[in-house]
Copies of this chain bind each other. A is one copy, B any other.
Amino acid sequence: MSSPDPFDRHDHAACRKRALAQAEAICAERLTPIRRRVLDLLLESHVALGAYDVLQRLQAEGHRAQPPVAYRALDFLVANGLAHRIERLNAFVACHRPEKCEAPAFLICRECNRVAETASASRRGALARDARALGFEIEQTVIEAQGICSGCRTS
């Protein structure tokens, strides 16, 4: 099992393997080699990666990729719930639990730049209540908290 705390050390390799297997289960043949590789790049990174970071890594592996290649793969992963875009960072992280991930929230450490994914408040939070009162129909919510993780604070 993965640690519930993404700031903790945990078994990265197992984590990646499981996430990739889930991705294949979700996408079947649509998880093409490029998309799979990009997902794995996100999984092996402990920090959020920008599209150009992904691009560089692809190029370092011999791909002569241009920006749209990275953006398309990332867009696909996000659309299929396999990755998340962190608006605050203009960057992307893999989703470690694509099956049971709904309305995630993120904790972004400004020191080590790691991003933890947590479950967000449900439909019953204050925001949802406010929205309902205004007749506003929420379709998607971005929740990103910046701060400092326990590891960085103590050091």
Contact = CB atoms under 8 A, between A and B. Distances in A.
Interface in A1-25: 5, 7
> How many copies of the chain does the oligomer comprise?
2
A58 to B, nearest CB: 25
A134 B150 contact: yes
A108 B107 CA distance: 22
A27 interface: no
Interface of A: 5, 7, 87-88, 105, 107, 109-110, 116, 118-122, 125-127, 130-131, 134-150, 153
Contacts of A110: 139
B116 A120 contact: no
Given A126-B119, A127-B105, A130-B118, A135 B147 contact: no
